[in-house]
Structure 1
Amino acid sequence: MHRNIMVKVGIIAFFIVLFIYLLYPTIKFNYLMSETAKEDMKLEDPVAYEKLLDNSIKLGLDLQGGMHVAMEVDVPELAKALARNKDQRFEEAYEEAASIVEQEDRDFLTVLTQELEKRGADLARYYGTKSLRERDEILSYLRNQASEAVNRSLEILRNRVDQFGVSEPTIQKQGNRRIIIELAGITDPQRVRRILGQTALLEFRLLKDQQITQNVASRINEYMKGVLAEVDTLEKPEEEKDTTIVTPEELFGEMEEAAADTAEKDTLELEREKLFRENLFFTYPGDPQRLLVPRENELRLKRVLEDPDIQNIIQTEAGEAEFLWGQLDPSGEYYGIFLVEKEPELTGETIVDAYPQPGSGYDP
């Protein structure tokens, strides 16, 4: 009997220890670490941060709060943007249809069609092509465009949500026109609105010459090595002393001396010591205009590029230029960054229309 009780107690104790072991990463990440500590860990040791994040339980909106965002495709604006040869009749029909839909729960495209027909116009005048002539075909085309706009927006929003660093965000399509986004743990609603609500703009920027890119990369590397050397000179080795005799003053004064030494080290220097590490990036062998950044160095390099001294180096060597980040390579290990002109040479506002046309091997 006594042995059976001991076995049961042992099993219970084992599961309690196992439970605490498995739950500890969640407690540490969500309750024991401040936001500053999380940012420092993410900056200094991205691998350990990702491991801790993966081992912790993902808390939803009901447990840790966050934001619930509903976004909807503006069909009237889409219809107006797709229309060609817009005239007074179209503008009047558009305004009337928008007013009716605002007051009544009706399909905008159907109302717009009716308003155009009242004014002696039809959809083919504004939306027709060689392959689209009939009313029903054009309506089907416009509805497909609205549905495709939602699908394109889903992909764009997923890329934008990645900037928040939220683990397992919920992004899903609801109906034909609405997208629901749930971001657990987000505490800055203004930033969410700014990033999710910004309008995408097509821009064409010129790459800086490869020699300029190499000069900028070389100067930044030299500067980082100089910062590291400066930090090293601040750390003086301690003098050896006899440790066989320990006085009370030495015993209780040891912590005070350590605290004083830490206080003497400037906080800015500590931050720079964390950020400025060698080999944050390197040149891509096959393309001198592309720099490769290991995935774990992404956040650190972004912070480095915000440093005023680094900005001065870029301006001195390349003029009005900045680094643009590309996507991860197929291996998922490196980002590509490119030095480009700050001002775009061409924007989407300049392009009136564009058509795909296959080219040759010499003129793609």
Structure 2
Amino acid sequence: MKSKIGKIALIVIPIIAAIFALYPTYNYSQLESKRADYLHRANQAGNSADSLAIMNEFKKNYGQEYQSAKENSLQLGLDLKGGMYVTMEVDVVKLLRETAQKEAIDDTFDRVLEATEKESQTSDESVVDIFSRKFNEIAKPEGKSLISYFDLGDISNASEEAILDELTKNADGAINQAQEVIRQRIDKYGVSEPNIQKQGSRRILLELPGVTDESQIRSLLETTARLEFKLVRSNAELVQSFQKIDAMLASKSSKSPAAAATTITDTANVTEQVVPAPEATAELKSTDTTAKNNDVASTTDTNKKEEVTKADTSNPYEGLSEKAAQNLYSSKHPFTRMFATFWVGDTKDGQMQPVSYDINSFPQQGNYYFRIHEDSLAKLKIMLKDSKVKSLLPFDTELAFQAKSEASDAEKITGQFLDFYGLKSEPELTGDVIVDAGKNVDPTSNSWVVNMSMNSDGSDKWASITGANVGKRIAIVLDGNVYSAPNVNAKISGGSSQISGMANAKEASLLEIVLKAGALKAPVKIIEEKVVGASLGDDSISSGINSTLFAFGLVILFMIFYYSRAGLVADISLLINIMVIFTILASLGGTLSLPGIAGIVLTLGMAVDANILIFERVREELNKGRSLRSAIDEGFSKAMSAIFDSNITTFMTGLILYYVGTGLIRGFALTLMIGILSTLFTAIMVSRSLIELQLSDGKNSSFSFGQSKNS
């Protein structure tokens, strides 16, 4: 009796285990459908608050159950679920530039980096090695040394060899850190079973199953997440430097027509057109002007405008047509013609007044604001790369542009205007002090924001910084883009800060993720990507399931036809075998891929082969005249060595494939190894138990292995 219970347990336990292990997969598919419905409702909602409320309702009703089912379900691979293959490269050249002392960077160093970047694009050699060679070829003949560009901090160890060693360590550390940070971002984003691995000296390969929003993933991966808090320096000194840049570029153009073509014409090819500054025409015609800044318009009359511009008594535009006046203004102001400048005084009314650069002096008090059309942005950035232009900017000052948000329907037609700022180059505080971040809806503006919390050290520094700069603006800069530049009204204690300017919940969620995961030491860029559509994944699933069912059906028919009732036992054993494979895959948190399905189909053949070996040995013993029980005992015993030999050698092959292979090959190897272990269990233990149970019911005469009646 005990023996019979044990045999029943061998059959029933795998079935029960399969039900428990695979139920989360079924439940996850049901909850995923509900989540899709909630997402559709959220997208149809009228505003951000309603959208957030709908998703919070799903989180409240199903959040915990959904997360648990997702974590315990059998995941589908990229080839079945759809998703992205991405190859990323760490920008070591940019890391070298950032490691160098800013004040030491000159044209020679720029030429070395340009040559390094050009060669690195077609070579697998270490970027630092390429940089060292190019430095010797370009900079050494000019008497330059690495010591003059890089500061190790330890004067006693300041040799070129030590600098190169340190640069190599920095590059290797940046690549390893990039891999880990990207892994954290992907995990927080919720990609199931991503495959992330290094390739060569500076590349990272990613397989991201189930990814549907490609633009979000690109933003998530390429964002460096360098958060900085910088003082705004949009003052009269900056405006005066713009005037000097105008004079320098205009002088170059007048002296050399070729230079003019290079400076103005060629760079214009970057965009379709250069949108002139809104105030230019107004100044030329001396008419009322409507200025716009952050969607707040203010109209100023000529008298107010004259307080700002204090123009020369002689009007060079008098008597000219509008087009001729614009052309003359553009030739005199090749730099400032591309953007609008506004001034706001320190008075309470704070009216914005347009600024013309046809003046001798600028108000020293108050703040200056700058706006540029997106079509002119590329050309302005090219101009700012010119070393002569950069040298005319105030010391320790840089320009940074507003983060470009998702365009409205109107902006998709007319284009966006973006603010830009003069900032102190060195940050007052960095994102290293951020310990937590979370998205929310600002109740005052009904727009998405990300709230940040700082550690104790950051809180103290933030209180000190805000206390010392009351009345000034501090820009919150992420990856070189300004998200907001609020005025400091009072000292801020407690270490709280906020980033605004997000267009929607998705953008806020991405920012929350990258801030939590941490910043990258070096920028990364996507150099190759391939998208597998969901429809292709559905086709793969359909093909895989159909091939498995077809193979399973053929095996069932063959085994019953050839081995009679013993064949039916083998078929039941085979079905339990498949259930055990999926149970183990789900329990291990594995991923089912198309090669994995191929491994399962191969396992079906091996499982049947094991049963055939046993049944043929039993038939041989029956042909020798043994009784059915004796033939079964002898048949199982004699078949063991052949079964173990074939399965163990195949298992070893799968083990090698798993450790030396990548991606899809590992998926095939894993299911193959699981299938072999499952086959040994079901073919030997389960099949024997099923046969023994039938014999114990006294059905010896009716049980057949397909042998002829007279054998």
2:182 corresponds to 1:52: no
2:226 corresponds to 1:191: no
Question: In 2, Cα distance between the equivalents of 1:184 and 1:172?
Answer: 15
Question: In 2, Cα distance between the equivalents of 1:38 and 1:5?
Answer: 51
Question: In 2, Cα distance between the equivalents of 1:24 and 1:321?
Answer: 37
Counterparts of 1:77-156 in structure 2, within 5 Å, are: 77-84=94-101, 85-106=104-125, 107-115=129-137, 116-129=139-152, 130-156=155-181
Instruction: Name the counterpart of 2:393.
Output: none
Letter in 2 for 1:29: Y
Question: In 1, Cα distance between the equivalents of 2:26 and 2:194?
Answer: 20
Assess if the C-alpha contact under 8 Å between 2:198 and 2:205 holds in 1.
yes
- Provide, for residues 176-203 of structure 1, a one-character-per-residue CA deviation record: whole Å limited to 9, x for no partner: 4223333222122221001211232323
Instruction: Name the counterpart of 1:160.
Output: 185
Instruction: Name the counterpart of 1:19.
Output: 18
- Quote the RMSD (CA, aligned, Å): 4.1
Q: SS at the partner of 1:199?
A: coil
For residues 123 and 196 of structure 1, do their structure 2 counterparts lie closer, same or farther at Cα, with a shift above 3 Å needed? same
Letter in 1 for 2:97: K
Question: In 1, Cα distance between the equivalents of 2:140 and 2:100?
Answer: 16
For residues 26 and 131 of structure 1, do their structure 2 counterparts lie closer, same or farther at Cα, with a shift above 3 Å needed? farther
For residues 97 and 14 of structure 1, do their structure 2 counterparts lie closer, same or farther at Cα, with a shift above 3 Å needed? closer
Question: In 1, Cα distance between the equivalents of 2:6 and 2:120?
Answer: 72
Question: In 1, Cα distance between the equivalents of 2:195 and 2:60?
Answer: 25
Cα offset for 1:77? 1.6
Q: SS at the partner of 1:70?
A: strand
Question: In 1, Cα distance between the equivalents of 2:230 and 2:142?
Answer: 45
Q: SS at the partner of 2:211?
A: coil
Question: In 1, Cα distance between the equivalents of 2:116 and 2:224?
Answer: 25
Identity of aligned residues (%): 33
For residues 55 and 81 of structure 1, do their structure 2 counterparts lie closer, same or farther at Cα, with a shift above 3 Å needed? closer
Letter in 1 for 2:112: A
For residues 42 and 69 of structure 1, do their structure 2 counterparts lie closer, same or farther at Cα, with a shift above 3 Å needed? farther
Deviates further, 94-103 or 9-18: 9-18
Question: In 1, Cα distance between the equivalents of 2:191 and 2:91?
Answer: 27
- Provide, for residues 199-250 of structure 1, a one-character-per-residue CA deviation record: whole Å limited to 9, x for no partner: 32323399xxxxxxxxxxxxxxxxxxxxxxxxxxxxxxxxxxxxxxxxxxxx
Q: Of the candidates 321, 324, 332, which is equivalent to residue 451 of structure 2?
A: 324
2:36 corresponds to 1:36: yes
Question: In 1, Cα distance between the equivalents of 2:108 and 2:230?
Answer: 39
Question: Relative contact order (alpha carbons < 8 A, sep ≥ 6): 1 or 2 greater?
Answer: 2
Cα offset for 1:105? 4.7
Instruction: Name the counterpart of 1:353.
Output: none
Letter in 1 for 2:36: T
Cα offset for 1:66? 2.3
Question: In 1, Cα distance between the equivalents of 2:226 and 2:90?
Answer: 17
Letter in 1 for 2:205: I
Cα offset for 1:11? 5.5
Which 4+ residue blocks in structure 1 deviate beyond 6 angstroms?
A: 4-10
Letter in 2 for 1:178: R
Question: In 2, Cα distance between the equivalents of 1:166 and 1:49?
Answer: 14
Q: SS at the partner of 2:135?
A: helix
Cα offset for 1:5? 9.6
> TM-score with structure 2 length normalisation?
0.28
Q: SS at the partner of 1:121?
A: coil
Assess if the C-alpha contact under 8 Å between 1:314 and 1:322 holds in 2.
no
Question: In 1, Cα distance between the equivalents of 2:143 and 2:151?
Answer: 16
Assess if the C-alpha contact under 8 Å between 2:124 and 2:201 holds in 1.
no
Instruction: Name the counterpart of 2:206.
Output: 181
Assess if the C-alpha contact under 8 Å between 2:112 and 2:131 holds in 1.
no
Instruction: Name the counterpart of 1:252.
Output: none
Question: In 2, Cα distance between the equivalents of 1:103 and 1:181?
Answer: 21
Q: SS at the partner of 2:176?
A: helix
Cα offset for 1:45? 2.9
Aligned residues: 234
Assess if the C-alpha contact under 8 Å between 1:75 and 1:108 holds in 2.
no
> Which runs of 5 or more structure 1 residues have no equivalent in the other structure?
207-297, 328-339, 351-364
Counterparts of 1:275-286 in structure 2, within 5 Å, are: none
For residues 76 and 28 of structure 1, do their structure 2 counterparts lie closer, same or farther at Cα, with a shift above 3 Å needed? same
Letter in 2 for 1:110: S
Question: In 2, Cα distance between the equivalents of 1:108 and 1:136?
Answer: 14
Counterparts of 1:164-313 in structure 2, within 5 Å, are: 164-204=189-229, 305-306=440-441, 311=442, 313=443
Q: SS at the partner of 1:127?
A: coil
Counterparts of 1:333-352 in structure 2, within 5 Å, are: 344-345=474-475, 347=477
Instruction: Name the counterpart of 2:444.
Output: 314
Cα offset for 1:145? 1.1
Letter in 2 for 1:118: P
Letter in 2 for 1:28: N
Letter in 2 for 1:186: V
Cα offset for 1:97? 3.3
Letter in 1 for 2:451: L
Q: Of the candidates 69, 73, 89, which is equivalent to residue 72 of structure 1?
A: 89
